[in-house]
Every structure is written in C-alpha cells, then in structure tokens.
Amino acid sequence: MIWWQTLCLMVGLLAFHFALGLPVAFAFLGANLVGAWIFLGGEPGLVQLVRNASGSVNSFALAPIPLFVLMGELLFHTGLAYRAIDAVEKLLVRLPARLACVTVVGGTTFAALSGSSIANTAMLGGTLSQEMLRRGYSPTLTFGPAMAVGGIAVLIPPSALAVMLGSLSGISISQLLIGGILPGILMAAAFLLFVIATAVVSPGSAPRNEHVETLTLKQRIVPFLRDVVPLSGIFVAVIGGLLAGFATPTEAAALGSAAAFIATIAYRQLTFGNLVKSLMETAKVSISILFIIVASTTFSQILSFSGATMGFLTLIRDVEMSPMVLILAMLGIILVLGCLIDQVSIMMITLPFFMPIAQTAGIEPVWLGLMMLVAIELGLLTPPFGILLMVMQGASRATPLVQIYKAALPFIIIELVILALMLLVPEVTMYLPTLIR
C-alpha cells in the first residue's frame, strides 16, 4: 500500500470513530487494531500491539502524571483552594473590577497548585462568575477571565499535559515544565491588565458602586499570609527541586504531592471522606491519560512501520519550507484542530508527524514544544468545541453559548499575541529551561 493510502486509511478510521462519538482512547484503539492486523502481519501484529501497549506505559517518566493530579485533587476536595481564592479577594479589594481581578489572580494561583484546567474553570465559574453576574458585571468580565486562567494550568507547573507531551515527543519534561512558567505569568499579567483597562475605559462593564467591605490592612493581609503564602510552598517544592537540579520531574511531583498532603493535615481539612474522593478521582484521570498514551504510542509505531511517516516527511522535505514557515504551519494546524477536537487528540494526531519534521529541520524541540502547548491551550477556548467553553456554560446554564464565545474572544487574542511573542523572541521561552541544562 502506498504511504498516502495508508495515511488516509488510518486518519479516515479515526475520523469515522470520532463521528460515532467514541472516546478518544477507544477511537485510536479501533484504528490501531485494524492497522496492526494489516501492517504488522495479522495475528502476530495483534500480539505485538499488546507488547507495545505494555512497554509504552512501563516508564518511570510517566509517574509525575498521577502525582500532579493527586496534588490538585487534594487541594480541591479539601477546600483549601477556595480559602486561597477568598484570601486573594480580600487583598485585591481596592482594584477596579475587583472580582474579575480576583478571578485572574486566584485562578492563576490555583493553576500553579492543581494543574487542572477543567477544575480551575469549574471552580471559578461556579463561584466568582455567578457572583459577578449577580452584581451586574459585563459577560466579558464575568466569563472571560475564568475560562482564560483555566487554560494557564496547561502551562504553569504542575501540568499533566506538559508531562504527556514530553513523554510522547521525547522532549525534556523538566525543561517543558520550567519553560511554561514565564509565558504563563505573562498571560496572567496581560489578562489582569485587560480587565483593569476594560473597567477603566468602560465603567459600565463593572459596577461602579460595587460593595467593598470595610477591611483594615491587617484584615486584608492576614488571610493572605495564612491561606496563600504557606500553599506557595507546594509550588516552590516542585519548581525549586527542578531548578536546583536535585530532583527529577518524578521526584519533584512526589515532593509536591507530599507538600499538598501535609498542607491539608496542617490546615485540619483532611478527612477520610475527602481523601478517598481525591484518590478515586486521581485514579480515574490517571488511568484515562495512560490509556490514551498507550493508544498514541501504538498509532505512531504503526504509521512508522507502514512507511506513512517517512513518506509524509519526504513530501515535506521536497517542499523545502524554511524552519519558520514549518513552525507557522505546525501551529496553524494545531489551532485549527483545536476548534474541532480535544487537546489530547491533537497531540496524538500531530506529534508522530511534527517531531520528526522538526528534528530534520533543526528546530529547537523545547521551544517548539512550549509553543505547541500554548496553541493547544488556545484550543480550550476556541469555538465551537472548546472544552472550557462547555464547562463555563455548564456552570451558568442560563447564559447562551454564543455569549460565552464572545466573552472568550478578547482573551483568545491576548494568547495569540503571547504566542507570537514566543515565536519572535525565543528568549521568552528558553531563558528558564537553559538554567537546568
């Protein structure tokens, strides 16, 4: 079979399974079974498929995924995340559009503690966004910040998606985790500036006579020192270990989970019930991710063995695109796919092709990987199927989906600007990763 026929067959099978509504892992598993039978030699190919599946998850490098997930679940189910958000609100009491600013700052803080985009947006959408609706905020300031900072969890460690991308692509996981910090902080700062500027330029977007509690300086600072500063030790445990060089990503994830566990005990919020719930949710999410990694690795191997990957690479080399044009093409494909399918599927479909192309063209893999993460993050917000759009609509059922789309638009533009900055000024992306080389 000619390489392009193989490619069309495998991609067509995927499209068919997605159209049937199958979950991502099962859609790829179905395509893998057909591909293994045809290209790996029938029944022996199916045996090899099982061996490949076992080998793909038998890696110590994947251990950070359940550890990072556990860290976020503990903070979420014990309520420490809500306490941190409340403390941030008291500290920012005098800013214009205060609750929107709290959403950005508090959401970024929780992103740095949980690594879960969906949990971040669900929590903010179900609490602060509902309060802003009640007080008369505009839809842009009500829904936009909660969705935008939810996506930051993809960049700022701990990020399970960053670990997954590094595992599937062969890029250094440590450098991906560290490299996402600066772009994530830049995004959060840009979101905050936009919220403040919108409130100043358009006073009707936030209530002028917003209720402001009469709090003394002590009443504003003490909750922050009590409920936020100690939790920042979790972030320091993860990032400090990586930067100092005495902890691998797996060890840093273990430190973070241990720190989160100790924090829940120190705050007297850990009960048997919420511990069991955190462990159960961690198991569900982790098994789902590992199942997807199994399917992705096998899919890549089938494409490689059948000659489809090499044929596609040869076609790209014959076009003779410059590295910059190649990067733009890759990011453009990811942005388009982000409008249609979920982030894990994007990685599974593109990485088997993109990474060999980037290696052939001499593109810095960490730089490309971080830009891909930003492009993947944008897919969380882009209509019609951005998952955070759906989460926000679920948290606010009375709001039309079109209005939520409009609220996300300014923040999508901001993220595109940050992505362009990363492309044009590589130092923004590569400065921190170079510190641990």
Q: What is the pLDDT of residue 194?
A: 95
Return the percentage of the chain with pLDDT > 90, whole number. 16
174: nearest Cα among 162, 184, 182? 162
Q: Is the pLDDT of residue 28 over 60?
A: yes
Confidence band for 424, pLDDT divided at 50, 70 and 90: very high
What separation, in Å, do the N-terminal and C-terminal C-alpha atoms of the chain show? 43
Return the percentage of the chain with pLDDT > 70, whole number. 89
Q: What is the pLDDT of residue 127?
A: 67
For the chain, the maximum distance between any two Cα atoms, rounded to a whole number of angstroms, is 75
Residue 115: what residue type? Answer: G
Range from 46-50, 157-161, 286-290 carrying the lowest mean pLDDT: 286-290
Cβ neighbourhood burial of 225 (10 Å; 0-12, 13-18, 19+): exposed
129: nearest Cα among 140, 119, 143? 143
Q: Is the pLDDT of residue 394 over 60?
A: yes
Mean pLDDT of 79-94: 76
Which one is predicted more confidently, 406 or 133?
406
Q: What is the pLDDT of residue 279?
A: 92
Q: Across all residues in the chain, what is the average pLDDT?
A: 81
Which one is predicted more confidently, 19 or 113?
19
DSSP 8-state symbol, 203:
G
Confidence band for 188, pLDDT divided at 50, 70 and 90: very high
Residue 432: what residue type? Answer: L
Contact between 434 and 211 under an 8 Å Cβ cutoff? The reply is no
What is the CA 117 to chain-centroid distance, rounded? 6
Confidence band for 422, pLDDT divided at 50, 70 and 90: very high
* Distances 187 to 25, 93, 413 between C-alpha atoms, Å: 31, 22, 11
Range from 14-18, 111-115, 170-174, 248-252 carrying the lowest mean pLDDT: 111-115
* Distances 306 to 21, 31, 102, 371 between C-alpha atoms, Å: 27, 14, 52, 29
Confidence band for 277, pLDDT divided at 50, 70 and 90: very high
Q: What is the pLDDT of residue 16?
A: 86
Contact between 245 and 436 under an 8 Å Cβ cutoff? The reply is yes
Q: Is the pLDDT of residue 379 over 90?
A: no
Per-residue pLDDT of 402-414, as tens digits, reads 888 899 999 999 9
Q: How many other CB atoms are found less than 10 A from the CB of residue 393?
A: 18
Mean pLDDT of 397-426: 89
Q: Write down the residue that tokens 């971080």 correspond to.
A: 370
User: How many CA atoms, within 13 angstroms, populate the side-chain half-sphere of residue 45?
Assistant: 17
**Rounded Cα gap, residues 251 and 106, in angstroms:** 27
Which one is predicted more confidently, 409 or 237?
409
Sign of the torsion formed by the C-alpha atoms of 48, 304, 299 and 155: positive
Q: Which long-range contacts (CB under 8 A, 24 or more apart) does 27-31 make?
A: 28/292, 28/295, 28/296, 28/298, 28/299, 28/348, 29/295, 31/299
Mean pLDDT of 226-241: 80
Q: What is the pLDDT of residue 382?
A: 84
Confidence band for 276, pLDDT divided at 50, 70 and 90: very high
Mean pLDDT of 213-233: 79
DSSP 8-state symbol, 204:
G
User: How many CA atoms, within 13 angstroms, populate the side-chain half-sphere of residue 133?
Assistant: 18
Contact between 100 and 199 under an 8 Å Cβ cutoff? The reply is yes
**Rounded Cα gap, residues 23 and 344, in angstroms:** 11
**Rounded Cα gap, residues 127 and 85, in angstroms:** 10
Q: Is the pLDDT of residue 397 over 70?
A: no
Q: What is the pLDDT of residue 341?
A: 67
Q: Is the pLDDT of residue 371 over 80?
A: yes
Q: What is the pLDDT of residue 281?
A: 84
